[in-house]
Structure 1
Amino acid sequence: MASTTLLDSLRTANLLPSKVIPETSFTPIFSLTITFPSISPSNGNFVRVSEVKQQPVISITSSSPSSPSSHSAQSFTFMLIDPDAPTPDDPKFGYWRHWVVTNIPFDSKSSAGEDADIIQRGRTLTPYLAPGPKDESGPHRYLFLLFKEPEGLKLEKSDVGGEEFVDRRSFRAEEFVKTHGLELVGVQWMRGVGDGWKEGKDEL
């Protein structure tokens, strides 16, 4: 049921299908939990800029918790991207690359198939940059994506681009995924708005 709700929300927001979720038949193998200090957004919930300044904790849960060992040899790439930069009406800088972490091993010893705070074990290629849409921009859609890596994949910072603010714009996420043989296995998303944005205006 949770997966159905997630997929329905992605379809409603025109994120399924999309460049990074191209298959209409996509079914996540892992559930993602996004935990900021004061909020845990899911399925397109609204968050304010002030609520997401701090890097969140990312946890994953296998869809087959009874046999977590089946994932034990897997490693993952995680990314947070914004297709609506600088504004949903003029997304000329989408995807904006907010966060990329690779070579995340799956902890097969985690209880009940849940693996908490996965980012700590990975290699950060792009440090977390908090979403910061302007009040007048309207809601931005932010995608948290988990990909299974092919065996032996080793990515460098040069593979994703620079860390400076302007270097993060116009990230070709779909090309990055195809080039490195990544397989989408988990997704979550939220809508981000400025602290002064009033609900009901320019909603996606």
Structure 2
Amino acid sequence: MRDVCPWHPSTILSPTYKYSLTPHPPFSNLHRLTLHQIELAIELPVLACQPAMAAHVDPLVVGRVIGDVVDLFVPTVAMSVRFGTKDLTNSCEIKPSITAAAPAVQIAGRANDLFTLVMTDPDAPSPSEPTMREWLHWLVVNIPGGTDPSQGEEVVPYMSPRPPVGIHRYVLVAYQQKACIAAPAAAAPGAEAARERFSTRAFADRHDLGLPVAAIYFNAQKEPANRRRRY
């Protein structure tokens, strides 16, 4: 017998093939099949024989982080983010009540590499009307590779997520610097002028940072007062 996919239509309709999607020999009893049955016999097996599509779809694309916050890039540096004992994965949901303190962020790389970390909310104040996109939650520059933001220079202090309505995305992006950035004086913790309508792309362009080397995002929404809890 020919080395051919057993569910290929040319095989199903061959008088020499032993099996069929119907209980009748596939060729001699074609007159008993309806047109719809014949179409299914051809259409479904062909789909089954096609190579499987790639299972992985970039969650940054699905979550529209690519597009709303940064351009398409290839991650080249490992970055881990954790709130307490909760390790972040892309698109996971985090309760705002556990984000009061800045997350533990670890950026890989060599000690003489320098990185910038940006955290923003592209859905402020509302996902349906993000008129303050992006709201800047954290900005740290000159972070040595293999360390965390505490070893860098904090330009804008960490502000915990406070989504007023809807499900907000909170995006952390790391850039590898080409040189040390002359950090301006740190903004006051509540200085809104430094936070609203921030542009991650514009900041990267202004400091010649190029494309990101790592990014991760999580979702959060306002918690009912009686359900807030800490992990």
Q: TM-score, with normalisation over the residues of structure 2?
A: 0.67
More strand by share: 1
Percent identical across equivalent pairs? Answer: 24
1:83-136 deviations in whole A, cap 9, x for unaligned?
A: 000010010001100000111111xxxxxxxx35x11110111111000112xx
Unaligned stretches of 5+ residues in structure 2:
1-54, 226-231
In structure 1, the residue matched to 2:183 is 155
Is 2:156 aligned against 1:131?
no
The whole-number CA distance in structure 2 between the counterparts of 1:97 and 1:157 is: 16
Backbone CA RMSD of aligned residues: 2.2
Is 2:59 aligned against 1:9?
yes
Structure 1 residue 21, shift from structure 2 partner: 2.1
| Contact kept? 1:31, 1:187, Cα under 8 Å | no
Aligned residue for 1:151, secondary structure, equals coil
Structure 1 residue 15, shift from structure 2 partner: 1.6
- The structure whose RCO (Cα within 8 Å, separation 6+) is larger is 1
Structure 1 residue 163, shift from structure 2 partner: 4.0
In structure 2, the residue matched to 1:164 is 190
In structure 1, the residue matched to 2:41 is none
Q: Structure 1 runs of 4+ off > 4 angstroms?
A: none
Unaligned stretches of 5+ residues in structure 1:
63-70, 107-114, 198-204
In structure 1, the residue matched to 2:107 is 60
CA spacing shift, 1:98–1:92, aligned 2, 3 Å: same
1:3-152 paired onto structure 2 within 5 Å: 8-16=58-66, 18-23=67-72, 26-61=73-108, 71-106=110-145, 115-116=146-147, 118-134=148-164, 137-152=165-180
1:120-158 deviations in whole A, cap 9, x for unaligned?
A: 110111111000112xx1110111010111224322137
| Contact kept? 1:19, 1:174, Cα under 8 Å | no
| Contact kept? 1:45, 1:190, Cα under 8 Å | yes
CA spacing shift, 1:165–1:192, aligned 2, 3 Å: farther
The whole-number CA distance in structure 1 between the counterparts of 2:204 and 2:121 is: 16
The whole-number CA distance in structure 1 between the counterparts of 2:133 and 2:188 is: 16
Q: TM-score, with normalisation over the residues of structure 1?
A: 0.75
